[in-house]
Structure formats: structure tokens, C-alpha cells
Amino acid sequence: MKYNLAKGTRLLIAEDQVLAKSHLHYALEQLGFKKIDHVDRPSSAIAALQEFEYDAIICSYNLRSEQGGYFLLEQLQSEHALSLTNAFIFTSADTSAEVVHAIIELQPDEFIAKPFSVNELDRRLSRVLSRKAALKNVYQFMDSGEHERALYEIEQFLLQPEYAEHFPLAMKIKGDLLFLNQRFSQALAFYDGIVNVQDFSWAKIGIAKCLIALEDFDDAEREVLQLAMRPDAELAAYDLLATLKIKHEAFDDALECTRLACQISPRKISRHRQAVNLARITHNYESQFASAKHVVRYAKDSIHDAPDNYLNAARAGVDFAMTSDPADVNKIVKQATSYLQQLKQAHPKTELNEELKVIDARIHYLKDDITKAQSLLSDFQSVHAKQQSTEALLDRAKALHEVGLKTESLKIFDALAKQLRTDENSDELMCRYITQEKEEKTAISLSPKALNNSAVAEYKRGNLEQSYTTFSQAFRVMPKNPSIALNYLQAIVRARKSREALPGDTVQAIRSCRETLETAQLSEEQQSRYDSVKSILTNH
């Protein structure tokens, strides 16, 4: 460590383990640091950063007090309270893949695994502080949003051979700035030039992002699939592939890519929320509920913890129960309502009476108490609509449709669609979902639960024409339900055997039913029925 560099640097240490703090303090003193402050929790770190200017923060990821180190960096970033000229360094004894990926996604300046030697700390800290000093002008312009000036500074920096040790990082920054300035063709040529010299994963990722921005989707997909084979680029590859699949409206594939990315790095809340919306669009209610539960789990002790997370988990559970076999409904409803209990514990002062009434009404409907469900929904005053979130209004529209108040339901869907169209910041997937729900609720009067019951009754009575129509509607809103898929397939086969006229999309309907059944866990009775249907399809 250069003496002047250490002497002039002010450090903030966030560590709550006594031995670790003592070891780190001793090591820093050995390296020549004099200005060292200590805190043991995130709130104290934030207070210290508001009072003093620190050159570097060394933070334990495993802080046991309050929300932890992850929360600290996440909050500092969300509030823009940490300048790019400041260094943030994580230390952690936990080097599991989940923790490492979580840290990488937050992009601290360095990550040092515990235990570490004085020499290791010296090497890592010297590298961080020297590059912060060398790139200070670039970082200052980036902090102020002056990306063109930052780009000029980084180009000048790359002309100075004395800074050669920092050139790989500087080149990455240049690529990022070209992209931020929407110079996609120039950025693409720049990344191509980098890859021709050295095959950096970040440059390959940059190429894929530029190709997507330039709408060269075929080449982008080829690049992304190659990236998926690299351990250090696998996560980015799944995210980019999900983006591509969304653009192609291949939402099932996009959901699978997003779920794989969530498994690799589960702490990123925005990714779980994307999974929720993709699951909704694909009518994958089980996956929707699972992703909503993940939002609650990983948002705890973070800046994302909010009452809506618990409400949305409960709503997703009700959606799932609404489309499940009767034998599973009570179990799923119990899981869903547990999130309402968690909500009361986590946010006891939050007033959510209207939202809770709607969820309660939907649960009463599941229990066939339609009168009670309607009475709970009738108490709503339209004046409250403007005060409610998109999710709350969406849930009310579903509830109204379920109890037979289709006109009132569609009015809310119309208002939501109009609101999202005029909101520049609205989520693309949410807009798609609202439009889809509106179309389905307009075309289909019955709820998923009623559709299923009606179709089974018609099928048992041998009313093929009516059961076929009802099952086709049920399969439209519940395409992942194997019972519906099997009943629909049998209705198609029986209609074929009786030589009744069928719509022209029958072949696609058969294919879709079989895709659901081939990937589902079927009971022995269901498997026997499916084998029988397959033999008939083969013979005809």
C-alpha cells in the first residue's frame, strides 16, 4: 500500500463481529490507514455517511444487526447516496453461489472472502483505491449524468499508457457509456473490436444488448445462447434471453428463462416480479403463486419490503385456488391467508380494509358463499378507486366477474387499460396482462371455478357440443390444468367420433392439450384415460 494513498483515505467499517472487526482494524493500521471509523449496523452506517465524507466503505455482508450489508448497499444505491468516486467493498465468510451472485448483481467495487490475510487486503484495497483516484473525473461526470463528457474523459484516459493496469475496466466503462448514450451501432463495433483482441464476457454481453437494441434479434439470440455456456455470463444470458422471448411474445419460454435466472440469483426482486407477470400471461397460476411468495421472502429486510408484497401473494394464492382441483382448494387458501397474517405482523399500522375485503370476498366465493362475497364487494365506494393501486383494482375486477357482476368488472378493466396506456412508466407485461384479462372476461362470462364445474356437468350428461365449448373456454384460461386439458381432449375425441363439426383450430387445441398432459404429473386414472385418448388419436 502506498503510504500517501493510505494516509489520505478515510474509511468506514461496517462490522458487528468483534474478532472480525479487530482483525480488520489491525490489518488496516498495518497498511498505514489512520482515519478509520466503525459502525455495527446499517442505520449507523447511513448516519455516518450523512455526516462525513468517506473514500471507502468496507462492509460485512453478514451483518446480523437490522437488515444486513445487502440492504445497506441496496438502500445507498436507491437513494443515490453513494458516489461512484466512493469505493464500496463487501466482505463475507459465506461464499455460496447464491450470496456471490447477489453481491455481483449489486456491483460493489470489490468482494473479499473471509478470512483474509493482510497481504490480500493490501492487494485488493490498493487496486480499488488507485482506480478510483485514476478515474475520478470520469466518475464525477457519470454521477452528474453528463455521459457525453464522461465518454470524452474515458477516451482521453485510454490514451495514457501509465494507466494501462486500469484499461480493461476503462474499456468496459466506455462500452457502457456508448450504450447509455444510445450509440448502439458504435457500441457494437467497439465491443466487436474488444472481443477480437480478448474474449471478455462483459464485451460479449454488450454485443448481445446492442443487437437487441438494434432489433437484430436472430443474431442476438445466437450470442446469448453462447453466453449461457459461460459460468460467469449464465445469469446475464438468461435475463437477455427472457427479454428476447418477451419481444417475440414467447411468454412460456420467457417465464422459464426468468425462473432459471431467479434460481441462480434469488435476491433480485424485480426478476421475481417479472416472473409473476409472465406466469399471469401464460395462465401458470401455480408458478405465479410461487413467484409471489418469493417476492415476500426475499423482500424481507430490504428496501422492497411493503404491504403489497403480502397482499399480492395472497391474491396469487386465491387465483391458484380458483383454478385448482376442489380437493386442493382448502390447502391453497390456507397458504394464501397465511400471508395476510404475516402482513399484520410485518406492517401492523397499515390500513388496508378495502383490499382485504376483496380477498375475503373471493375466498367466500371459493366456498360457494356467493351472497356473502357480493355483500363484501357492494360496500366499495367509487371515490376510493383513485386511491387504490393497479393490483388492488385488478383484484376487485376479478372478484366482481367471479360473482357475476360482469359489467362492473369490465368498467374497472377499461379504466385500468386507459390508465396504463397514458402512463409512460407503466410495465409492458402488466399492460399486456390487463389487455388479456379484459378480452377474456369480455368473451367468457363464467369464472374459472364455474367453468370447470359446468364443463364437467355437461360432459357427464353427454352434451358434447356444450361441453366442448365450455371446456375450450376453460382451457383458454387454465391451459396448465391437466384435468381440464384431459377433459377437453376427451370432449374433442368424442365429438370427432360422433362426426360433429369442429372448429378449424382443433389440431392446435389437441397439440396444446397434449403439451400440458405430457409435462404434468398424472394420477393412475388420468394416465389410463390419456393413454386411451392417445390410441384413438393415433388410429384416427
Among the listed residues 34, 35, 36, 42, the one whose alpha carbon sits nearest the alpha carbon of residue 16: 42
Task: Using a pLDDT cut of 70, give the percent of the chain over it.
Answer: 95
What is the C-alpha to C-alpha distance for residues 398 and 409, in angstroms, rounded to an integer? 7
* pLDDT of residue 383 exceeding 50: no
Q: For position 299, what pLDDT does the model report? A: 93
Domains 145-248 and 448-539 share a fold: yes
Among the listed residues 71, 75, 106, 111, the one whose alpha carbon sits nearest the alpha carbon of residue 91: 111
> pLDDT (tens digit, 9 = 90+) per residue, 326-343?
889 999 999 999 999 999
Residue located via cell numbers 460493489: 108
**For the chain, domain boundaries:** 3-136, 145-248, 253-340, 351-443, 448-539
Q: What is the DSSP letter of 160?
A: -
Q: For position 249, what pLDDT does the model report? A: 96
Q: For position 1, what pLDDT does the model report? A: 63
Least confident of 46-60, 322-336, 455-469: 455-469
Q: For position 483, what pLDDT does the model report? A: 85
> pLDDT (tens digit, 9 = 90+) per residue, 178-225?
999 999 999 999 999 999 999 999 999 999 999 999 999 999 999 999
> pLDDT (tens digit, 9 = 90+) per residue, 239-273?
999 999 999 999 999 999 999 999 999 999 999 99
Q: For position 500, what pLDDT does the model report? A: 56
364 CB-near residues (< 8 Å, 6+ apart): 370, 372, 373, 376
Q: For position 381, what pLDDT does the model report? A: 57
Per-residue pLDDT band at 89 (split at 50, 70, 90): very high
Q: Span 3-136: which CATH code?
A: 3.40.50.2300
Per-residue pLDDT band at 386 (split at 50, 70, 90): low
pTM of structure: 0.92
Q: What is the DSSP letter of 148?
A: H
> pLDDT (tens digit, 9 = 90+) per residue, 390-416?
999 999 999 999 999 999 999 999 999
Per-residue pLDDT band at 380 (split at 50, 70, 90): low
Q: For position 504, what pLDDT does the model report? A: 64
Q: For position 349, what pLDDT does the model report? A: 86
Per-residue pLDDT band at 452 (split at 50, 70, 90): confident
Which class is 253-340 in CATH? mainly alpha
Report yes or no: 291 and 444 within 8 Å, Cβ to Cβ.
Answer: no
Q: For position 36, what pLDDT does the model report? A: 94
Give the 3-state secondary structure of residue 60: strand
The domain covering 145-248 belongs, at the CATH homologous superfamily level, to Tetratricopeptide repeat domain (1.25.40.10)
> pLDDT (tens digit, 9 = 90+) per residue, 127-144?
999 999 999 999 999 999
CATH 1.25.40 for the 448-539 domain, yes or no: yes
Among the listed residues 421, 379, 383, the one whose alpha carbon sits nearest the alpha carbon of residue 400: 379
**Mean pLDDT over each residue of the chain, to the nearest integer:** 91
478 CB-near residues (< 8 Å, 6+ apart): 283, 285, 323, 448, 451, 452, 484
Give the 3-state secondary structure of residue 347: coil
Question: Residue range 418-425: average pLDDT?
Answer: 82
Per-residue pLDDT band at 478 (split at 50, 70, 90): very high
Which residues of 280-373 form beta strands (DSSP E)? none
421 vs 257 pLDDT, higher one: 257
List the grid coordinates of 69: 450489508
Question: Residue range 459-478: average pLDDT?
Answer: 81
Question: Residue range 50-71: average pLDDT?
Answer: 88
* pLDDT of residue 358 exceeding 60: yes
Tell me the H-state helices in 423-505. Answer: 428-443, 448-460, 464-477, 482-497
What is the C-alpha to C-alpha distance for residues 458 and 448, in angstroms, rounded to an integer? 15
Among the listed residues 415, 409, 389, the one whose alpha carbon sits nearest the alpha carbon of residue 312: 389
Question: Residue range 520-528: average pLDDT?
Answer: 91
Question: Residue range 476-502: average pLDDT?
Answer: 79
